[in-house]
Structure 1
Amino acid sequence: MIDITKYYSKIKEGFEPFKYQREVAEAILNGENVILQAPTGAGKTLASTMPYIIANEEGMNFPKKLIYSTPRRTLVNSLYSDILDEIKKGDFTKEYDVTIQTGEKKEDRYFNGDIIFTTFDQSLSSALSMPISLSNRLGNINVGAFLSSYLIFDEFHLFDLSGSYTTTVLLLEKLKDKVPFCVMTATISEEKINALADKLDARVIRADSSEYLADIVTQQGKERRIFTKDNSLDAEEIVKLHNQIEGQSKKSIVMCNRVENAQQIYEDINKLVNKEDGIETLLIHSRFLDEDRKRKEKQIKKLFAKDNDDSNVILVSTQVIEVGIDITSDIMHTEISAIDSFLQRIGRCARYRNQTGKVYVYDVLNEGDNKYLPYDDEVTLKTFSALQEIDGEVLTSELSQQIIDRVYSEETDVDAVANEKVDCSSDEFIKESWKLPDKDRFNNLIRNVIACSIVISPWVYDNCSPYNYQSLSISPGTLRSKVAEIAKETDDWLVKKVIERDDDSDFKYTYGETTADEIYPNNLYILNPDYFGYNLETGLVFDGTGKKFDPLPISNQEPDYDNTYKEESYLQHIESMNKEVPELEREMSYAIELIKDEFDLSADDFRDIVEFTIWAHDLGKLQEEWQLAHKRDEYDFIAHAERKSKPPSHAAESFWIVLELLEDFIFDYLENEGKIVDIIGKAMISHHSLNLNRTDKYTISTTVKKHLLNINADFFTEKDLTQFINKRADRLLLSLSVGEDISDEIRVRSINQYLFYFVLVRILRLADQRATKKLNQDNI
């Protein structure tokens, strides 16, 4: 019997886990998947992450990687800091690498960490082989990490019903017997949680019921009283009520639905507040670069901390602080939103034990159709109506759940529509995405983002990845209007679209000048810093007075593939790759065990498959034209060297060269089934580009075959495998006079086959990437 209390007390001495925290740990460690509903501030982040720590401390067969997905970047930053601190305090026997990955904070784009905090669009796009923070050509590199991780999806009620909610449910349904997961929410209707539990065969733990709440000390004695207003937010009223807060500490938060509203209210408040008043004002929203938002978040967490009794501050914010950030206030002013969002917001008011707070709810500043965007009009109005009926009352957990169930009734039909979409949607999109990744499907499968990404820079040279720069999201409509306005005053270039090649050549990016009418969502654009800039306090500006964007740290950039490779022999390359394999196998050991069971492989068999794949994946580089395209000083046959001319493609050719020998290896040496041939073949072909389906003509000298016979004994662990390959070296196809269509040669179909492929291709590509980086570290 595992002592769960022992591990909690490592983080906080003498702490006894709450009843629901213990149940979550017991369920997940017992092989169950969990749907957890718990109120804000109840410690559900720790409840979901502790099973991972416990399992790995106890040496259990459990994923060595945790991917924690949330809807908000601010929540990612906050949770990352909190969990990192708690793990450090825990003094555990293992060292856990805690990382963070968002669109603006690209610190772990390859999901290399042990515990990765990320947004759901980052994790889901990675799971579907179209990661939004990587180029198309790297699309298959993170799927293996996702499929070998313990998955946590937090604040699940905020997932986009038209995309990410359905995609996540169907993905987890497909993987429920392969990966452990925990889905968490603070607010969800009875109808939806029951449908979710049935779909995923998951255990529901409801920590918001009286049975559990009595045990959660952070929920005891706190009180939030609701006051509804007929008018919209008013700066004078906000300042007046702020000054009426009793005591030395005065903390007010103003929550707006849109960035423009937050900017307006912030300016209006600043006009009313003098420095002599001692009131500090802060503004935070989604249009700040990560480093600046992080600075603001740190300041906010300090000023609105539970134990800060000396603050006099008004914070104006959008949804970016709606979930997860550990702060509290005396008063909250908020524009009305959907009940899910509203309950999350007020979690930043009177957040802690025995605190009392007031929540003032207003109509929105906007007018016209769809004035309540980004929220559904009907749901928002029903929420407002329900809150008006309890005007002046304390909003309890029980009353909150009643409002949720009332708002999401059959009349509103939102939950019913969501459940019907899940039930009626096919999960074939998963395998379709794996077979033919396409980022254009992002809107339908993950979320309907009406935004594009921008990089402000005077020049991004060809062959350098634009994904290596800081970026910012903006509405295409806003960008179009600003570009059109500036274009009237200048003939200079304003915007360039990033054009990415998707073939077997080295990375190539080009940049084509575009007009305002040609700006679309989900594209990446380069903006001229003479006309666009970035201000540390206000964000993006359109007068060229701000600064340009900086590159990401070298350690987190995509390879430039520029011509500066050091010379490396073929044997050195595959040997250096092999040295990277143990760590990659460790991180994916849970999935590897599933693969071995499914495909009847021993540990030695799996090692032989990995070694064979590494040995064969670059055989196409041994063709005469490829070798002649590089400068060779030391070695006869190289895998890397300074380039003299553009080399021919090699990935698909490698597969064609070794196909017959590969079949012998699987059928005769391993005595296994042909589907593994397809899996290895797909990994080899797609180790540079995901959608190759043809080989070019090539010629390899017989001297190459003799060279391989000499080096094989130095590479393969199993001498019997060396002898087997050397005896059948005549099966290598050394020439091809015309191009060949290979699309019918590769057939990966089932979930288990894809699991094997994605684990193998991650090992192959990251081993290649890490080994090559070490080779060229003086040049990077």
Structure 2
Amino acid sequence: MQLYPYQQRVKDIILAGENVVLQAPTGAGKTRAALVPFIEGFFDRPDTTPRKCLYVTPMRVLANQFYAEYRELAARYQRLHGRQLDVRIQTGEQPEDRRFEGDLIFCTVDQFLSSYLMMPYSLPYRLANVNAGALAGAYLVFDEFHLFDPDAALPTILHVLRQLHGLAPFMLMTATFSSAMLQSLATLLQPAQVVTLSAAEIAAINTRGGQPARQRVWQVADQPLQAAAVLAHHQHASLVICNTVRRAREVYAELKQQAPPETEVLLLHSQFLPDDRRQIEAKLRSRLGVSSQRQQANLIVVATQVVEVGVDISVEVLHTELAPPASLIQRAGRCARYPGDTGTVIVYPVETYVPYAFKPDEILKHEMDATLAWLKERQGAVFDFDHEQELVNAVSAARDQNIIAGIQADRHNRRASIQGCLEGQRAGASRLLVRDVDSRLVLIHPDPDQLLASPYDAVGLNIPLYSLRSMGKDWLQRPTDAPWRVRRLDESDAGDQAESNRPLYRWVDVHDSKELAQSAIIVVHPALAGYSAHEGFSPETGNLPFISTLPPARPLIDRPRSSLYVETYAEHIQRVLDAFQELVLPELRFAASALECAAGWSPGSVLRAAWLACLFHDVGKLSKGWQQWAHAYQQAIGQPVAKTIALAHTTFDFQNPTHRQAEREVSRSTPRPRHAAEGALAVAQILAGAFNISHEKELVQAILTAIARHHAPFVQDCQAFSLVSEAGNLIQNTLQFLPEEVNYSLNINDLWVNSHHHQQFAELLIKPTSRYGWIAYTLLARALRRADQRGTEMGAGQTLP
């Protein structure tokens, strides 16, 4: 299919290594414009273009649609080129790529930003530093940019793009930013080119195939939205969009009672399980999509913002509660969507402005009121893209300018907040830096201990925190015979426990709804809340059949709870290095080269740093204390190993009570010491001598930080240690596993075998204030942790002779 002229312009700019801010109408092919340069570069320019693309959306439904569409397209490219383009999705409801390991990843903005901020919503606390390194060197696309929270997500995204300037080409796309906002963004993100469409281009797209242009008539109602008004205007296909799930449930219930039997009423909102939502969306596309017989339908759909973007349907009448102009225009895109269609958009006043404004003096409330007044003056008008832009410029331009001015004025405070978050100061970070509508995973189960094996994998609902608080108050007060009401996940010991085989999680009873913000996962007793496939999450209705489960189909996050087998130090290092070469190196090459160029480091230095991080990551296990513990444990389980053999892993089966008992008893008499930070300190002088320390000191600090934090992501201290006498020889013997171009200037005699002076260890670690050093740390931490995990898996089943 031939590209539209503007799509060709975008492709040329992106492949030239420049950045784009694109404004184009709904239905004009923005997604194709963004992805064609990446896909062509992936197959045709493998050495000069990014190997990974993160396509960031404001809403899960948009990610779902693009994922389905481009997974099919990738299959066609694979047949054509004989190579795979790994397309994945990562959202709260479809966490299929929690570690951002795909080539083309569709994700929501909260998944993206939380990963950058080292508090990934998709991963437990101890894995906080795994995902950040996936961003540098990737091609970043932000779709429907106008829908990102202007107080939280938007300024944080702009900070990220400035930090990754020169390392991650990007594209911002929108249909409804004001002209002032477009130019301001381009200025803030210099260099970035603004691409817009001419009137002739828009007309050609809207009349493609020789059909007449679509036509929408806009009207304004006098009273808030009610079921009777919907039924009065209904012909064949009607869509009702409410601003909250609660309102959608209310209108749906009214329509179910009042609609004639032959009229089907469907409900769609964010609080459905993924499979049920996909079934409803598929049904909508089959009944109301581009190839459907819409004139034969008799269907009313009640929905929330989940249909604003990404659901490719067209109805005759759209009933929508008042929202900001950008949202109204997006909603209108579901009415008379296709060439030749005609339809009516009816906007209803609201009594409450939630979720856009919670207080009477908030600017979005005033903007919504101004929008309603502007529309009333044009009652019954037919709007095209120019009219929509007129609305945005008239109502939103002032706020857009204030947003940019506020972002500029608050840059230093935001930078400080982000840097604090990167160092582990998470309190309030989600609301301040990602979005105010913070969500929690809500599970339903009578015995939630059954989910502790991997609670982040459990099937549940993502509920906004502001909604969850009111639900929590009701659950804590409602009469019930249940033995408990609400619990939250406590993983406060996960960082310390990560190097052991003890449980990582526990449930803590919730006594006040304010406590719900303290955990990523909440569980409610099924006597108080339930779920149904037709209406979704029902916080007021208990004793329904659904309970949360751990899905058997995909690997669980908490792989350390699987069996481990005794493994020598040399065997483990060799397997980790093999895993690095096979799994990690292909992803790392482009990002490493871009970082070396930007930071002025010598060619190949970042890749060498990654090899050495993997080589030295477990040197701390060569301490006398760690080896004493490992051998005592093997003795306790009846599988002793000769004391002359240095171990990296011990045999452990979580299901084996003998192993669990031995681990507890040995740890009481011979506590297992930490090893990650201790190993980093032990090899600090070796690494300092292996690089040009005058120019690459930050890179050396990044390696030390990656090693120190390959189990606990925010460790700042180091315990005293003493390595075994043969440690130097053991490390020397592992150098054979390195490529020749890496194995130079390594003086193992610089190994620090004893340390009691560890109080100033934190000074060796890289800080977020070091731009390139911190980016190097994220790349190295990701590389090391992925290689270490894969290497450990490779060692499963291997035993000593």
TM-score normalized by the length of structure 2: 0.88
Residue of structure 2 equivalent to 1:651 = 676
1:426 to 411, 415, 434: 411
- Give the conservation status (yes or no) of the 8 Å contact 1:694–1:739: yes
Structure 1 stretch displaced more, 432-441 or 362-371: 362-371
Structure 1 stretch displaced more, 286-295 or 639-648: 639-648
1:539 to 536, 540, 545: 536
- Give the conservation status (yes or no) of the 8 Å contact 1:693–1:741: no
Alignment of 1:334 onto 2:326: no
Residue of structure 1 equivalent to 2:110 = 121
- Give the conservation status (yes or no) of the 8 Å contact 2:606–2:699: no
1:661 to 679, 682, 686: 686
Q: What one-letter code is carried by the residue in structure 1 that aligns with 2:485?
A: L
For residues 402-423 of structure 1, give each alpha carbon's deviation from its aligned partner in whole angstroms, at most 9, with x where no partner exists: 11111125xxx42222011111
Residue of structure 2 equivalent to 1:165 = 154
Pair 731,203 (structure 1): closer, same or farther in 2 beyond 3 Å: closer
Pair 217,404 (structure 1): closer, same or farther in 2 beyond 3 Å: closer
- Give the conservation status (yes or no) of the 8 Å contact 2:183–2:194: no
Q: SS of the counterpart of 1:230?
A: coil
1:682 to 685, 700, 705: 705
1:229 to 218, 221, 238: 221
- Give the conservation status (yes or no) of the 8 Å contact 1:128–1:437: no
Displacement after TM superposition at 1:16 (Å):
2.0
Residue of structure 1 equivalent to 2:743 = 721
Displacement after TM superposition at 1:765 (Å):
0.6
Displacement after TM superposition at 1:205 (Å):
4.2
Q: What one-letter code is carried by the residue in structure 2 that aligns with 1:571?
A: A
Residue of structure 2 equivalent to 1:6 = none
Unaligned residue ranges in structure 1 (runs of 5+)? 1-14
Pair 218,551 (structure 1): closer, same or farther in 2 beyond 3 Å: farther
Pair 322,197 (structure 1): closer, same or farther in 2 beyond 3 Å: same
Residue of structure 2 equivalent to 1:489 = 480
- Give the conservation status (yes or no) of the 8 Å contact 1:330–1:350: yes
Residue of structure 2 equivalent to 1:595 = 595
Pair 701,257 (structure 1): closer, same or farther in 2 beyond 3 Å: same
CA distance in 1 between counterparts of 2:720 and 2:353 reads: 64
Displacement after TM superposition at 1:239 (Å):
2.2
CA distance in 1 between counterparts of 2:646 and 2:15 reads: 51
Q: What one-letter code is carried by the residue in structure 2 that aligns with 1:236?
A: A
Pair 161,392 (structure 1): closer, same or farther in 2 beyond 3 Å: same
Displacement after TM superposition at 1:288 (Å):
1.2
CA distance in 2 between counterparts of 1:720 and 1:420 reads: 48
Residue of structure 1 equivalent to 2:728 = 705
Unaligned residue ranges in structure 2 (runs of 5+)? 653-661
- Give the conservation status (yes or no) of the 8 Å contact 2:237–2:315: yes
Alignment of 1:526 onto 2:548: no
CA distance in 2 between counterparts of 1:577 and 1:33 reads: 37
Residue of structure 2 equivalent to 1:498 = 489
Structure 1 stretch displaced more, 293-302 or 537-546: 537-546
Q: SS of the counterpart of 1:460?
A: helix
Displacement after TM superposition at 1:667 (Å):
4.9
For residues 95-116 of structure 1, give each alpha carbon's deviation from its aligned partner in whole angstroms, at most 9, with x where no partner exists: 2111111112111010001111
2:784 to 757, 761, 764: 764
Residue of structure 1 equivalent to 2:472 = 480
- Give the conservation status (yes or no) of the 8 Å contact 1:251–1:311: yes
Q: SS of the counterpart of 1:621?
A: helix
Q: How many residues align?
A: 747
Q: SS of the counterpart of 1:577?
A: helix
1:108 to 76, 94, 97: 97
Residue of structure 2 equivalent to 1:64 = 51
Residue of structure 1 equivalent to 2:393 = 405
- Give the conservation status (yes or no) of the 8 Å contact 1:36–1:185: yes
2:272 to 279, 283, 288: 288
CA distance in 1 between counterparts of 2:125 and 2:572 reads: 25
Alignment of 1:516 onto 2:512: yes
- Give the conservation status (yes or no) of the 8 Å contact 1:349–1:357: yes
Q: SS of the counterpart of 2:238?
A: strand
Residue of structure 1 equivalent to 2:378 = 390
Alignment of 1:74 onto 2:74: no
Give the RMSD, CA atoms, in angstroms. Answer: 2.8
Question: Where in structure 2 are the equivalents of 1:135-534 lying within 5 Å?
Answer: 135-217=124-206, 221-242=213-234, 245=235, 250-275=236-261, 277=262, 279-309=263-293, 310-364=296-350, 366=352, 370=358, 376-409=364-397, 413-426=398-411, 428-429=415-416, 430-436=418-424, 438=426, 440-449=428-437, 451-457=439-445, 458-460=447-449, 464-474=453-463, 475-486=467-478, 488-490=479-481, 492-500=483-491, 501=493, 503-506=495-498, 508-521=504-517, 523=519, 524-534=521-531
Displacement after TM superposition at 1:721 (Å):
3.0
Q: SS of the counterpart of 2:333?
A: helix
Pair 778,70 (structure 1): closer, same or farther in 2 beyond 3 Å: farther
CA distance in 2 between counterparts of 1:172 and 1:720 reads: 32
Q: SS of the counterpart of 2:382?
A: coil
Q: What one-letter code is carried by the residue in structure 2 that aligns with 1:28?
A: I
Residue of structure 1 equivalent to 2:2 = 16
For residues 153-184 of structure 1, give each alpha carbon's deviation from its aligned partner in whole angstroms, at most 9, with x where no partner exists: 01111111111111112222332322110000
For residues 702-760 of structure 1, give each alpha carbon's deviation from its aligned partner in whole angstroms, at most 9, with x where no partner exists: 13333334x325422229937x64xx434323334576441112244422112211111
Question: Where in structure 2 are the equivalents of 1:20-35 lying within 5 Å?
Answer: 20-35=6-21
Residue of structure 1 equivalent to 2:73 = 86
CA distance in 1 between counterparts of 2:603 and 2:576 reads: 19
Structure 1 stretch displaced more, 305-314 or 497-506: 497-506
TM-score normalized by the length of structure 1: 0.90
- Give the conservation status (yes or no) of the 8 Å contact 2:475–2:528: no
Pair 69,26 (structure 1): closer, same or farther in 2 beyond 3 Å: same
Displacement after TM superposition at 1:396 (Å):
1.4
- Give the conservation status (yes or no) of the 8 Å contact 2:220–2:376: yes
Question: Where in structure 2 are the equivalents of 1:600-611 lying within 5 Å?
Answer: 605-611=605-611
